[in-house]
């Protein structure tokens, strides 16, 4: 059984790492905030003092971090994975970052004989906890196949998308669609409630027709339960949309819906909802409409 490393034990990384150790894999972990590692230590994980130490102890290292700079620092920094890596190591980055960054990191790691997959995920905290994430991977297909069993431990599906960067491109296109669907839900549910319609009944109707979506399934209940605990924070989705805008610019692709979605999330952040779940954007629409989306009292 391969020795696994995991770097980044936040909202997503911690449950992902927990699934690996519960499946019996020898696990070495690192997190900048050390106390987040303690629950895994109790399960038998080894706590490393640096990403380089994780690399020295592992055959495959997963990273799940918040932004490009954090991934660069963890992999290429003074105490990064690169400094502890030996030829044959595999690095699997599950962060949502620029495809250019994914490709740069893969090129740098290759200089030491280290393979890399960019393998971001769809799903947020509940799916990570349940182990039903979907992985989309870019890199060498044989490396993807080597890691497939591990993807299956943490998720329900894994797709090979193509060469280095393909996973990151796929994730940004996915998050573009996700954010646009979130806005369509927000506008529509506020319209329904303003008209006197029960939001729960509205969602039941929508879920049976062509307007159904993952956002309806996962975010509508948060809206009418007034539960804006961050399964996926507004600031993180806004960051992802900025990366998607960069991709669109590189491709010389007009993206008016993406641009509007990014602006709406910026408005939500400006109003103080940045650390709340991205579904908190509905509160902007509620303010304009002078109503609140919530369960009926019947």
What is the set of active-site residues?
Answer: 171
Kindly report the number of other CB atoms within 10 A of residue 288's CB atom.
Answer: 10
Task: Compute the distance between CA of residue 82 and CA of residue 91 in angstroms, rounded to an integer.
Answer: 10
Looking up tokens 């008016």, which residue turns up?
Answer: 256
Q: What is the DSSP string of 12-31?
A: THHHHHHHHHHTT--EEEE-
Task: Compute the distance between CA of residue 275 and CA of residue 230 in angstroms, rounded to an integer.
Answer: 7
The residue count for the chain:
298
Looking up tokens 């034990």, which residue turns up?
Answer: 9
Q: What stretch of H or E contains 127?
A: helix 125-130
Three-state DSSP at 118 gives strand
The torsion angle over the Cα atoms of residues 184, 187, 193 and 195, rounded to 10 degrees, is -110
Q: Which two tokens stand for residue 235?
A: 């600031």
Task: Compute the distance between CA of residue 116 and CA of residue 108 in angstroms, rounded to an integer.
Answer: 10
Q: In angstroms, how far is the first alpha carbon of the chain from the final one? A: 55
* 45 closest CA partner among 273, 111, 293, 58: 58
Task: Compute the distance between CA of residue 148 and CA of residue 156 in angstroms, rounded to an integer.
Answer: 11
* 4 closest CA partner among 140, 101, 12, 13: 13
User: Judging by beta carbons within 10 Å of its beta carbon (0-12, 13-18, 19+), is residue 3 exposed, middle or buried?
Assistant: middle
Looking up tokens 């029960």, which residue turns up?
Answer: 198
């Amino acid at each position: 059984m391969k020795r696994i490393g995991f770097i980044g034990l936040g909202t997503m990384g911690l449950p992902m790492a927990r699934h690996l150790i519960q499946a019996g894999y020898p696990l070495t972990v690192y997190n900048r905030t050390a106390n987040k590692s303690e629950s895994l230590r109790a399960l038998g994980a080894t706590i490393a003092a640096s990403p380089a130490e994780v690399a020295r102890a592992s055959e495959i290292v997963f990273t799940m971090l918040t932004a490009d700079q954090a991934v660069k620092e963890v992999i290429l920094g003074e105490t990064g994975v690169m400094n502890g890596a030996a030829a044959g190591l595999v690095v699997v980055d599950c962060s949502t970052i620029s495809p250019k960054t994914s490709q740069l990191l893969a090129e740098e790691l290759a200089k030491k004989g280290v393979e890399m997959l960019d393998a971001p995920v769809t799903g947020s905290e509940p799916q990570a906890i349940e182990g039903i994430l979907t992985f989309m991977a870019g890199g060498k297909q044989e490396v993807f196949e080597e890691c497939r069993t591990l993807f299956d431990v943490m998720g329900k599906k894994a797709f090979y998308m193509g060469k280095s960067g393909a996973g990151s491109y796929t994730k940004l296109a996915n998050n573009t669609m996700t954010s646009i669907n979130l806005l369509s839900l927000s506008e529509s549910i506020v319209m329904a409630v303003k008209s006197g319609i029960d939001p729960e009944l509205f969602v039941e109707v929508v879920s049976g027709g062509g307007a159904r979506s993952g956002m309806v399934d996962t975010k509508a209940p948060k809206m009418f339960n007034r539960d804006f605990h961050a399964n996926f924070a507004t600031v993180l989705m806004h960051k992802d949309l900025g990366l998607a805008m960069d991709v669109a610019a590189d491709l010389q692709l007009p993206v008016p819906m993406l641009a509007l979605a990014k602006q709406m999330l910026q408005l939500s952040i400006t109003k103080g909802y940045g650390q709340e779940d991205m579904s908190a954007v509905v509160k902007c629409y509620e303010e304009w409409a002078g109503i609140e989306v919530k369960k009926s009292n019947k």
